Structure 1
Amino acid sequence: MTLGWPVELEHGSVGLRPLRRRDSTTWARLRRDNAQWLGPWDATMPPEGGSASTSYLAMTGSLRSRARRGQSMPFVTTWDGEMVGMVTVSNIAWGSARTGTIGYWVAQSHAGRGITPTAVALVCDHLFTTAGLHRVEIAIRPENVASLRIVAKLGFTPIGMAPRYLHIAGAWRDHQVFQMVAEDVPRGVLERATRTT
């Protein structure tokens, strides 16, 4: 079991909790209602990769299995207790690296309310303090202006462009890579974000 997992986090109306099997109906509705909104940024399976399972149970089973092995932390993002998106920490490496990659999405109906920056800040603070990671990374398509605003607001450092980094919307797409290390935020990411807003 991963240090600090499972866990629930909150700040004001924003909450984070582990993804559950019983979230399937809400998850399916959110993904269906936001297909156009999320489509340009969603990872897809390349032709040589075979077909990806679209089953919610298969996805949650895989995420929960990786979480038990300390490789992932799949959070549901909530607003006043209602599921509105997700923040997932993946590719967690321990040993001398102590690093992880963060991905996130939020329903269009709740975009622009500061939910995702708050959720990502809460997750980063949890990763640095409780879980003991040293570094977190976020990779963003250069065209994703809303996501670029999130990393800028939270103070992530750009570390370069990764050509053809991830298969998204049917093709290999370039991503700009950002990082934060624990020493960058001695008083926490959320504290710094709220102080600079």
Structure 2
Amino acid sequence: MLDLAPVALPAGVTLRLLHPDDGPALAAAYTRDRTRLEPWEPERPESYFTPEHHARTVPDELAAHRAGRTVPCVLTRDSEVVGRVTLSDVVAGPFRNAHLGYWLAGAVTGHGVMTAAVEALVTHARDVVGLHRLQAATLPHNHDSQGVLARTGFEKIGYAPRYLRIAGAWQDHVLFQRILHD
């Protein structure tokens, strides 16, 4: 999988590939925004918020990247991680598809950061990874995330009842896609 060069985004944020030493910064970011993220994410064990957990999982993510199965990125400002944007479940062959997932720290929301990050990763997915389609899913009441998807050219394609286990319950999701090649 070809690497993604760092991309400057609004509010002094940079989009870049995950680094092997990002574990402590990831743990700090998830801890800092834990309460804000809990309604939108799977339940996490206490160990998830430790540097040791991320030190163990970062190498797995980087191995999956080298194998072409994911594009794991972080959003940084100064030395802090302030978000993630990831292409996961990358499928080659006739499908050429991936799932898009993201989150952003409360301190940098409202400045166009995530819109710019998603657009940069869409370009990478099309021009470097060679994907044809990206898909994303949001909780029905996550209007901020749906706004990011709308601003970056994703279209609503459906509704999936009890799609993912989020915040301790199987929750419905709105499904989106963006076709990258016409």
Give me the TM-score of the superposition, normalised by structure 2: 0.88
How far apart are the structure 1 equivalents of 2:28 and 2:80?
Answer: 13
Q: CA deviation at 1:146?
A: 1.0
The aligned residue for residue 58 of structure 1 is 56
Contact persistence 2:4–2:124 (CA under 8 A): no
Establish whether residue 152 from structure 1 lines up as the match of residue 150 from structure 2: yes
Match of 2:93 among 80, 89, 95: 95
Q: Which runs of 5+ in 1 are unaligned?
A: 46-50, 185-197
Q: Tell me the secondary structure at the aligned position of residue 22 of structure 1.
A: coil
SS at match of 2:3: coil
CA distance in 2, matches of 1:21, 1:87: 16
Q: Structure 1: how far apart are the matches of 2:112 and 2:80?
A: 15
What's the offset of the Cα at 1:27? 1.4
Q: Please tell me the root mean square deviation across aligned C-alpha atoms, in Å.
A: 2.1
The answer to whether the Cα contact below 8 Å between 1:15 and 1:81 also exists between their aligned partners in 2 is no
For structure 2, the 5+ residue unaligned runs are none
Shift of the alpha carbon at 1:29? 1.5
Q: Percent identity?
A: 34
CA contact under 8 A between 1:53 and 1:59: conserved in structure 2?
no
Establish whether residue 18 from structure 1 lines up as the match of residue 17 from structure 2: yes
Query: What SS does the corresponding residue of 2:95 show, helix, strand or coil?
Result: coil
Whole-angstrom CA distance in 1 between matches of 2:124 and 2:46: 30
Partner of 2:37: 38
Structure 1 residue runs of 4 or more that deviate by more than 4 Å after TM superposition: none
How much has 1:24 moved relative to structure 2? 2.1
Structure 2 match to 1:135: 133
Q: Is the 8 A contact 2:22 2:58 kept in 1?
A: no
Deviation at 1:43, TM superposition (A): 2.3
Aligned length: 177
Matches within 5 A, 1:71-110: 71-79=69-77, 82-110=80-108
